[in-house]
Amino acid sequence: MRISKPPIPATWLLEHFLPGSENDHIIGDLMEGFQSGRSRMWYWKEVLAAIVIGVSKETVKHPLLALRAISFGWGTWLLFYYAVAPKVLYPVFRRIFTPSGYPFSPGQLIWTVTSLLVLVGSGWIVARFHRPNRITTVLLFALSVFIVQLRTFPWLWSTAANSLTNTRFLPYLIDGLEIQILWPAAILFGGLLTRTKR
Amino acid sequence: MAKHHHLGTFELAVMLALMRLGDSAYGIPISREIEERGGRGVTLGSIYATLERLKTKGLVYSEIGEPTPERGGRAKKYFRVTETGLREVRETQRVLKRLWQGLRELEGSRA
């Protein structure tokens, strides 16, 4: 019998972001469903539904833990943003780089990389302190960051529209998208670093 | 008086699917059974969430089965209804029948 492979990214998401310790049977069921002729769309829908249901279930079961994890994550980020960065990083940056608001200036790029590293660290801290509910807590923290960043959506939208007629706006659009997409991704990556091989 | 768990509509659908499937009740056949007979699309995630809830209530139990190649070498998880579960389904059926009785709006309508 020829075995066709289900979408690899979907299976990867399932293996890494499905809450709970014993999920092999769910992954096996989805693979079997796909082998029996279900579509790729069905597979993706099932994977996303399984993750959302798993996270919701754990959040309802441990609401205070979820709240604590989100506070931990934001606490780490805000500590860096309001205490460490102004006192340590900015003075150093000012000596090395010419201040510029351009997203791809050396100073801004270093700032972007530093922010991403701090977010990886905050994801790691959240996962490390909530080991039994590691996946749910990290996903919730990343989701909260994504939602907070949605406040820039009107600006992103207008920059995207302007980029169509004037390429000058493109770097600003990329910068905005970086915050919207890479920030939550960095948190998830940090959470995955605490993963132990089964 | 014995404590009843009051099965919800979806819980009842899952319990009936388990009873119908007998020894071959695991994720994929359960979802197919509910889709075909219940006429509604269900996700495996919601089925497993419900099964876990029913398991906590002591209405079902599970056993790990054999792994197969089309499942990527992963084992199946079979579910079966317990004695308490069976009693609960009967009780729900009894209550629903009682609620149905004597409703003129439903008389003569085909199920």
ipTM of the complex: 0.83
- In Å, what is the CA distance from B33 to each residue of A136, B18, B26, B27, B29? 30, 9, 11, 10, 6
Do A112 and A179 form a contact (C-beta atoms < 8 A)?
A: no
- Rounded Cα distance between B60 and B19, Å, is 10
Q: Looking at the complex, does the CB of residue A88 fall below 8 Å from at least one CB of chain B?
A: no
Q: Are B71 and A52 in contact (CB < 8 Å)? A: no
What pLDDT score was predicted for residue A3?
63
- What residues contact A16, with CB distance under 8 A and at least 6 apart? A135, A192, A195
Q: Are B45 and A45 in contact (CB < 8 Å)? A: no
pLDDT grade for A2, boundaries at 50, 70 and 90? low
B49 neighbourhood in chain A, CB within 8 Å: 53-54, 57
B31 neighbourhood in chain A, CB within 8 Å: 33
Q: Are B70 and A31 in contact (CB < 8 Å)? A: yes
- Rounded Cα distance between A95 and A86, Å, is 14
Q: How many separate domains does chain B show?
A: 1
Q: Are A28 and B48 in contact (CB < 8 Å)? A: no
pLDDT > 90 in chain A, percent: 56
Q: Which residues of chain B have pLDDT under 70?
A: 1-5, 108-111
Which CATH number fits the domain that encloses residue B63?
1.10.10.10
Q: Are A53 and B67 in contact (CB < 8 Å)? A: no
The CA-CA-CA angle for residues A12, A14, A17, to 5°, reads 100
Strands (E), chain B: 60-68, 74-81
Q: Which of B44, B49, B81 is nearest to B62 (CA)?
A: B81
Compare CB distances from A33 to B28, B69, B75 and report the shortest one's residue: B28
Q: Which amino acid is at A19?
A: P
What pLDDT score was predicted for residue A145?
95
Q: Are A1 and B69 in contact (CB < 8 Å)? A: yes
Q: Looking at the complex, does the CB of residue A31 fall below 8 Å from at least one CB of chain B?
A: yes
The CA-CA-CA angle for residues A131, A133, A138, to 5°, reads 90
pLDDT one-digit tens code per residue, A116-160: 999 999 999 999 999 889 999 999 999 999 999 999 889 989 998
Coil, strand or helix: which one is A28?
A: helix
Domain chopping of chain A, boundaries: 8-56, 62-192
pLDDT one-digit tens code per residue, A13-34: 999 999 876 788 999 999 999 9
Alpha-helical regions (H) of B22-82: 27-38, 44-56
**Residue B80 located in a structural domain:** yes
Do B67 and A32 form a contact (C-beta atoms < 8 A)?
A: no
